[in-house]
A and B are shown apart, each in its own frame.
Chain A
Amino acid sequence: MAISRRRMLQGLGAAVALTASAGVGLATSPLRPSRSASGTPEGGADSQRQWAFVVDMRRCDGCNDCTAACQSTHYLNKDQEWIKVYEVKARDGSTYYMPRLCMQCENPPCLKVCPVAATFKSREGVVLVDQDRCIGCRLCMAACPYNARYFNFTDPPRPPGPFDNPMPEFPVPQRRGTVGKCVLCAHYTSRGRLPACVDACRMDALFIADLNSDVMTNRSGETLQFSRYLRENDAFRYKEELNSSPRVWYVAGHGQALEERRRR
């Protein structure tokens, strides 16, 4: 089920072979439909995706476009920030921004405590909530070390049309009395689309990555080798010491002036 470290390392090794084709094949491939026939997690290098995420905090300017895009995609109440941008004061007096989504932990503390297995992990490594099963005990919210979970205290906005069939991959509309969280837009990625937040980030700070094919890409289509990018940019995972093995990597900002990236 969960991707192991070993597997992760294999992915990194395979990356060398993939580098050559990175510019060509992979630019389009990582977001292809994932429900491939071979299906087994240990299948071919790109038979199945193992989603991960990279946040380049050097680029984030704190505009909150990602949060807005997520909320409108999933018809969320305003107090639900499945991707939330923290404004952090650094020691030198500068400010940087840290977007936080669900870390899609490989060893998720939220999943372990759920009494009814409403929280589960998809084959692609995305932690999902079955909102038709969740009893709303909120123990998972107490257990998540990243404040990544949100409770529907009130009824969420209704999407237009006859939608009333939320699925874990596309939990719209949210159900009152249950817990919701970032699903890494599982309904988009499975159809080859970028997650809403990645698609909305005009600073190109957010990347969706696939551990299997070892590539990452962002809104403007910058496509990079994932493992190399992590290495060269000193990427880190938040609260690594807790052993939750998050699948979101951060590249720290250094208080430098923001790059001129924002484009239309």
Chain B
Amino acid sequence: MDLTLVLQGLLSGLLFGGVYSLMAVGLTLIFGVMRVVNFAHGDMMVWGMYLSYLLATRAGIDPYLSFVVCAAALFALGLLVQHGLVDRVIDAPHEMQILLMLGVALVLENLALVAFGPEPTRVRSPLGAATLWLGPVFVDIARLVTFVVAVLLTAALSLFLYRTDLGRTIRAAADNTYGALVVGIDVRRVYAVAFGVGAACVGAAGALVSSILPFQPPTGLSLSVTSFNIVIIGGMGSLLGALIGGLLVSVAESLGAVFLKPSLKELVSFSLLIVILLFRPAGLFGKRTS
């Protein structure tokens, strides 16, 4: 086995992991605050990708700029889905919420199919061709920028949650919903904001990978599955867990592609999930109870 190849796999995996972290942070935020699993998470991300595709092809805006617009658009979509749909079943049994979110996922995927067809696409960015050699390994500039932006966005989100009044009310509602009602927090509004912010994460993540990862409407399902995997590895509801878990899964997949076959990368990340759950049933940073 060639050591350079391993190093290269490690580096590429780590850099791609920023996007995984960002999408998992969005999912874990939504779950942590309202105990709803967003089964449409990956499909929302695919819409972020197509949006950046449209902005690139129609308006000539590079995805590394348009991610802001995509985040804003997905924030609005998240707000709408929460306010118009999820809110109606928030107190209903879990299977109702699961059915609803699966329905939203189907609608989003098939709308993408109607609008953009089944062919895989990717967005061209001038950054896509640039590489930088670091001794024996190269750094893909697009991946590097994606990584830096994704990590900065995750940091900004945690500043928002831990340093602002609105962020604090979101954490309070996640910690004790009844307690939040008691102190007069408008919990429905908090839910809408949390769902919007969670969706904005995949809006940005989608735009940021749209020039690296070829995508088509069914990509959403595999992105959802990867997001769940990361969130469970990191611990449901834990932001730090999502961040670390995203990097871990991405590195594992990348090394799996080096050591096994690229098509077996999921095997590696699910094996990682099983091993971690054996030793830490609540995930790396999960709380054992509740």
Partners in one complex: no
Please give the residue numbers on chain B whose beta carbons come within 8 Å of chain A beta carbons, in ascending order.
none
Please give the residue numbers on chain A whose beta carbons come within 8 Å of chain B beta carbons, in ascending order.
none
